[in-house]
Amino acid sequence: MKRILSLTAALLVTLCIVGCKTVTAPLPAWAPNAQVAIAGQAIDSAYSTITGYEKDQADCAAQPTLTKCPGVSNPAIHAAVQKMQQAYAIAQPEFKQWQAAIQANPNAVEPANLSAAVSTIQTVLSQWSTLAK
């Protein structure tokens, strides 16, 4: 059961990664161009992963015998989520500013901090697929 959940989680994360890397028309309503969509989808994937992990932590604190708890306490997964959370904390506010700026100026350049943080998120997400197996 743990394996099926882990694999399913890995599948969903991979779907998000595929989406991140291959954004084409139609773009989401909030994305004025593909570059914004790629960054936004990485941020959205990171948010889902972090909040999902936090929920798992809370669940396992309340009921340690749950089948998912060994995976939740895995140090490698914990470290990966922490790294993703740090990148998300940088990326999300930067994304918000860039999205507003690009509405006024379609040529507004993606902030370097955002680009680096999105890259970190994508890297951790790709590692996550392996860690979750």
- Binding positions for another protein, 86-115, rule CB under 8 A: 88-89, 92-93, 95-96, 99-100
Say if residue 88 is exposed, middle or buried (CB neighbours under 10 Å; 0-12, 13-18, 19+): buried
Contacting residue, 32, 35, 47, 119, with another protein by CB under 8 A: 47
Give the nearest distance from C-beta 122 to another protein in angstroms. Answer: 14
Give the separation between CA 85 and CA 30, rounded to whole angstroms. 23
Instruction: Specify whether the CB–CB gap between 85 and 117 falls below 8 A.
Output: no
| CB crowding 42-63: b at 16 or more within 10 Å, else e | bbbbbbebbeebeebeeebeee
DSSP string, 7-24: HHHHHHHHHHHHHHHT--
Nearer to another protein, 29 or 112 (CB): 29
Which x/- pattern, by CB under 8 A, does the window 50-89 give for another protein? xxxxx--x--------xxx---------x--xx--x--xx
Binding site for another protein (CB under 8 A): 1, 3-5, 7-12, 14-16, 18-19, 21-22, 24-25, 27-31, 37, 39-41, 43-45, 47-48, 50-54, 57, 66-68, 78, 81-82, 85, 88-89, 92-93, 95-96, 99-100, 129, 133
